Amino acid sequence: MYGAGAILHADREGTYWWGRRLATVLFVRPVPRMLWPTKYDDAAAALGTPSIETNMGVGTDDLRETVGWTGALGAAPGIVADMWIEFWWASFLVLLCIGWCHGRAWARAVGQGGVWTPLYCSMFAVSIYLVMQSLEAMLFRFLLLAVPVLLAWGCARGLGALAAQRDFATSPETG
């Protein structure tokens, strides 16, 4: 219901964000609030979007004008409505790209293994946020999982390479 109301409101008002809310989530949200207390308001002013601090900026009181009720605090529209609000008819291309990314990660996890396995597992684990909340919720959590996985994998490979060099240098065959 909330997602349908958000779509109706976006269509009526003609307010589509064209990725600006996603930019706020990816580049502003990771900054700790103690370093930047007004980060959401500043980003909203700079990007011309509503503040994403409440309901990702999607119709709390605004919905009353369109559908006759106010969106619940903390409500999320789901992936289809979220992408519609963000990209209008181009949302279908974005949804196709999301599916392609999941499929590609799965294929690499199965075919190549390595770092792709924990990355795909991370994508799969947070994919519930696509259905229940929004792309922004999924992306932020995926970044929180993927960055440590990539760092740990890189450190492990580096340590493995150092151990291999040490073993090669001390082996009797290399003299």
Checking if the pLDDT of 128 tops 80, the result is yes
Task: Give yes or no for a contact between 96 and 28, defined as CB atoms under 8 angstroms apart.
Answer: no
77 pLDDT more than 90: no
What is the pLDDT, as a whole number, of residue 16? 86
pLDDT(174) > 70? no
For 142, residues 6+ apart whose C-beta sits below 8 A from its C-beta are 122, 123, 126
Query: What is the arithmetic mean of pLDDT over 87-116?
Result: 94
Share above pLDDT 90 across residues of the chain, in percent, rounded to a whole number: 29
Q: Which two structure tokens, joined as six digits, stand for 106?
A: 């799965």
Alpha-helical (H) ranges within 26-134 are: 39-47, 62-67, 79-87, 91-111, 116-126, 128-132
Q: Report the chain's mean pLDDT, rounded to a whole number.
A: 83
> What's the token pair of residue 87?
């990209």
Q: How far apart are CA 147 and CA 60, in angstroms?
A: 33
pLDDT-derived band at 25, boundaries 50, 70, 90: confident
Q: In the structure encoding, which two tokens stand for residue 11, read together?
A: 């269509």
Query: Do the Cβ atoms of 19 and 77 come closer than 8 Å?
Result: no
**Inter-helix orientation angle 79-87/2-13, to 10°:** 10
Q: Where residue 164 falls among pLDDT bands split at 50, 70, 90? A: low
Spell out a b/e string for 15-25, using b for 16 or more CB atoms within 10 Å of the CB, else e: bbbeebbbebb
Which residues make Cβ contacts (< 8 Å) with residue 21, sequence separation at least 6?
49, 52, 56, 57, 86, 136
